[in-house]
Structure formats: C-alpha cells, structure tokens
Structure 1
Amino acid sequence: MKVLFLSLIFIFQLFTNINSYSVETILTMHVRDRYPEIVIENNKFSGPLIDIINEAANNIGIKIEFIEAPFTRTLIDLENGKVDLCPRFSKSPEREEFTYFLGPISTVNKIVYFIVPKGQEKIIKSYDDLKKYPVAIKRGTYYFEKFNKDNSIQKLEYKDDENMSLMFMNKRFKVIAIRDYLAMKRYFEKNNFKDYTTATYRHEEIVDIFYGMSKKSPHLNKKEILNKALNKMRTDGRVKKIYEKYGIKE
C-alpha cells in the first residue's frame, strides 16, 4: 500500500513537472530582401530589422521563424492569419483593418523616388508630371496618400522590385515609383545596368517604422508583451545601436 501511494505521488509530480514547461512560442515573419535593413544571402537573414525583432523576442522568451516571401503574398497571409508578422510595415487605414502595428521602433525621413532613364530626370519635375507617363509600382505598396489614391495617374502594377527593374531595363516604361532606392539600385548593379537616374521630383515625409502583426494571428496573446519589448529597446537606445552596427542612422 505504501509503495502504491509513493508511486502515485511520483506520477503526480512527474505530470506536474511536464506541464510546468510551456510549449515554445514561435512567431512566423515574412521577409524579403530590403537592403540594407534586411539582407537575404544563401538562405541567411541579416540586417537591423532582423536583429531587432530577434532580440525583442528573446527578451520575452519566444522565437521568430523567418520565411522569405513576396510582399503580395505577405499582405494576403497577414489578412488571413497565415503569418504572424511583417517588418517595416507602413500604417494606412486599409491595413489597420487586419493588422496591429507594433512600435514604432524608429522615425525616419522617407523619400519616394521616381526612377527614369539617364539624362531624362527633368521629365518628372513636379507631381503633376506623373500624370504624363505610365508609372510602374509594386503591388500593395504604400507610397504616400496622395499618390496611392490618385486615379488620374496610370499605374502599372508588378509583384516585386526585381520584376520592375527587368521591365525598366527592357524599356517597357520610363518611370518607376520606388520607396527602397538602395534595394532597386542593387538589382541594377547585378545586371551591370547604368542607364537610369532619379527624377527631379521626389516626395519626402517623416514616417514611423512598425512591425505589423496579423489580427488573426494565433499568438495575439503575445502582442502586448512583444510591443512592450520593442518600445523598451527604442527608449533604451538599443534600436539605435543596432542600426549603427550596420552603418545606418536611425
């Protein structure tokens, strides 16, 4: 009887110990090459936006799984809850319907450039000049409110920057709207293409940098604690140090 009693106690303690360990929480995050903030080489992910979310997650005992995906797929998966996070996600009323915005982790002067053939920078000297030419854009990208809502501009949608760069090199159009000039420049350099420049007109505004989290994520219970960790990293100066590590002014 005593042996049976001790055995039951042992089983109870074993069961309690097993259940005292919570299942590790893993949040998925779609990424794409956005040099210099996100760099993907040989299936390895680096850059300040990778380091920041990794550190914030580690500080609260969770992990991040990175998945390379085009932005168009990210938008769909965020809306459906098939992915948890998206880095450097611009806030807009449309996106707020299906996304929580974590942060902001930083505030930057964001420039939307318009790429044109070399020597033709003056064909776009003002905003209204954009109405004279078809303008290539990346599907789902938020450039700036006036431009996004302006139906008088003919916009040619492409799934990603690489596709746009190839079409531009093949002279399919004269103007590209681009938020990530350095990333586009890398595509041109890979193809040894130099027949391009930025138009005289450009749009500048101060924007906040967020991580987007799907409102249908199965890990919404981690939203507040993750957001708190990210905000603490900013106020403590940790975000700034991570950007400086990569030679970027935050």
Structure 2
Amino acid sequence: MRASAYFSILISLFIFSSASTSIRAEISPALKAGVSETDYPPYSFTHKETQKMQGISIEVCNHLAASLGLKIEYIKRPFARSLVDLSSGKLDLMCTLFNTNSRSPDVLYTSVPHAMEDVILFTLKDSKTNLRKPGVTAIKDYDVGGIQGYYYGPDIGESSGHKIHYAQNEEQLLKLLLKKRVAYILGNKEAILSQAKEMKIQDRIKFLDFPIYSGPVYIGISRKRPKAFEKLSLFTRELIKFQSTEKYKRLLRKYNLTQPDY
C-alpha cells in the first residue's frame, strides 16, 4: 500500500473515532428506558432472586450502552404510557418495539432488529368457542382482549373490524378472560404464561399453536431527545457488530429465540 493512501486511511479512522467520541460526550451518560410494569419474558423481566432486569432486549441494550460508555436506567410503567413518554421525549428509548407506521413520526428505530416475537391466542380451557381455522379473519366474530399500545400486526385492530377490549397489562388482560368478557386474548406466549403462573391460573387457560402475527423486534429511540439521530447511528453500529459475535448467539439460545431475518 502506498504511504499516502495508508496515511489517508489513518486520518479517516481518526476523524470517525473523534466524531464518535464527541457525540458520546454530548449524550447523557444515563439513558432512560421504558419497560413493561409487569414481566415480559423473554424480552424484559425481573430475576426473582437478584431482582435485576434481564431478558434478550435488556441484555442487548445493556451491551450496546456499555460499548458506548453509557448506562441505562429502566423505568417500569404501563406500556401505553411508555409509548407516550417516548414520543414526547421523557424517555430516551424502549428496547422492545415493533416498527410501525403510527409510531414512526416520534420514534427512530435501529436499522436491524435484535429478536423476533410471535403473537398468539389464548382462551379458557372450558371455552365453548372453536376456531375452525387460524388467522385474523376467524377472530372477528369474537370479543378479543389486548393491551393498550401493543401492536398485533397490520391486520388486527378496530379499523379491521375486530372487537378489541383493552387492558393496561397482562394481569388485567387475564382477568378479562377469566370474567369471560372476552373469548380470546392476544399475547406473547411466555409473558402470558408467566403472569398466569403468578395468578395461579395456568391450569385454566390454553393457547393456540398457530401465531396470529410474527414480527421483528427493534430498539426505538425518541426523536425528541437531544442527538437522537447520532444515538441511532451509534446503537445500530454496535448492534450490527454485536450480532456477529458468539455472545449474541448465546443470548438467543439462552432465551430460545432465533436470529431475526432482515
């Protein structure tokens, strides 16, 4: 390699490194992240013995923040409120989000997802309802429970003709089902089963094997916070690097997840 070309590369790397250092210096070292007020495994939940937050989304966010010399303060609140606070800039980020058109005006997403999530249906074991075929069209004849602010795919919602009854969290959602105010509830399998065990009602519910929706999970960053695009660039860069490591692959195996396609 010619000396002049080698020198140019060194200068470019120095400029990029200096710019990244400058950006990191201007970003608050403690970022505020909204997480569900109830456990949402395998993405975010509190370890019962250590009382520390864990889950694929938590561990990925912690790794990225540490790589950038930052820390994250996790704030538990209802999901819908976290979305409002993310949109208004009261929160810096959320680590478990579907990328939707309705959220995009206020939220920036990492260019690549870090996990996948399935939405499935639950009902009572003694339910007389019977879905003859899977799919979003089949549940239009029933009252269905969901959580305020959650995304269940592009084809599910009141605008699509579904009769959705909203709750604030998984506990309230299961109570809707127990009181038979809804025939089915929508949810992440592990999160619903975890809450059902807490309520000691796991023997009263059953889940349908087919997913209603399956989609990639992203880190979302508030557009209203300072240096939002710079944060997005840094988090995306570190995430892409992390996904090529054995540590990331171990996390996927730990939480029984597959690497997202993109």
Q: Which runs of 5+ in 2 are unaligned?
A: 1-24
Give the residue type in structure 2 aligned to 1:152. G
Q: In structure 2, do the counterparts of structure 1 residues 119 and 89 end up closer, same or farther at CA, with 3 Å as the change threshold?
A: same
Structure 2 equivalent of residue 25 of structure 1: 29
Q: Which runs of 5+ in 1 are unaligned?
A: 1-21
Larger Rg: 1
Q: In structure 2, do the counterparts of structure 1 residues 200 and 240 end up closer, same or farther at CA, with 3 Å as the change threshold?
A: closer
**2:45 aligned to which of 24, 39, 51:** 39
Please show how residues 121-136 of structure 1 align to structure 2 within 5 Å. 123-126=130-133, 127-136=136-145
Taking the aligned partners of 2:226 and 2:66, their CA distance within structure 1 comes to 19
Residue-by-residue CA offset, 1:181-209 (whole Å, 9 max, x unaligned):
1111111112221222124764244x222
**2:173 aligned to which of 164, 167, 171:** 164
Partner SS state of residue 166, structure 2: strand
**2:241 aligned to which of 227, 232, 235:** 232
87-96 or 168-177, which deviates more: 168-177
> What is the percent sequence identity of the aligned residues?
21
**1:113 aligned to which of 96, 117, 120:** 120
1:53 equivalent to 2:61? Answer yes
1:174 equivalent to 2:183? Answer yes
Structure 1 equivalent of residue 12 of structure 2: none
Structure 1 equivalent of residue 207 of structure 2: 198
Q: In structure 2, do the counterparts of structure 1 residues 78 and 132 end up closer, same or farther at CA, with 3 Å as the change threshold?
A: same
- RMSD of equivalent CA atoms: 2.4
1:223, CA displacement in angstroms? 2.4
Residue-by-residue CA offset, 1:204-230 (whole Å, 9 max, x unaligned):
44x222100010012423221122111
228-237 or 42-51, which deviates more: 42-51
Query: TM-score, length-normalised on structure 2?
Result: 0.77
Taking the aligned partners of 1:45 and 1:201, their CA distance within structure 2 comes to 30
Q: In structure 2, do the counterparts of structure 1 residues 116 and 46 end up closer, same or farther at CA, with 3 Å as the change threshold?
A: same
1:248, CA displacement in angstroms? 4.2
Partner SS state of residue 95, structure 1: coil
Give the residue type in structure 1 aligned to 2:52. K
Query: TM-score, length-normalised on structure 1?
Result: 0.81
Taking the aligned partners of 2:162 and 2:231, their CA distance within structure 1 comes to 41
Q: In structure 2, do the counterparts of structure 1 residues 66 and 129 end up closer, same or farther at CA, with 3 Å as the change threshold?
A: same
Q: In structure 2, do the counterparts of structure 1 residues 57 and 202 end up closer, same or farther at CA, with 3 Å as the change threshold?
A: closer
Give the residue type in structure 2 aligned to 1:113. I
1:107, CA displacement in angstroms? 5.1
